[in-house]
Amino acid sequence: MAFIYYLVLVICSFNIIKIKKQYKFYIMDNDEIVCNCMQITKGEIVEAIKTGNLKTIDEVGDVTEAGTACGSCHDDIEDILKEVNG
């Protein structure tokens, strides 16, 4: 079992696959696209949160347009809000 865990870590470190946050291996880079519909990166969202003291997904959407189309990125935006705001 430990072998599989380390194999997954190695694979993830080379971005061959990405394991979502529920496995605690996944770290999103600032240049990674969070909102595919609007092509908004994590860095753009982080900057908006810090600059505008944003607290909600709706506020992030108002400023960046992230999460305003299909909504599939809402969980990631919520995680970023928690990461930045604590």
Domains and CATH numbers, the chain: 1-27 (no CATH), 31-86 (1.10.10.1100)
Q: How far apart are CA 50 and CA 1, in angstroms?
A: 41
> Burial, 78: exposed, middle or buried (Cβ in 10 Å; 0-12, 13-18, 19+)?
middle
pLDDT one digit per residue (tens) for the chain, 86 residues: 566 666 565 555 554 444 555 544 457 889 999 999 999 999 999 999 999 999 999 999 999 999 999 999 999 999 999 999 98
- At 86 the pLDDT is 86
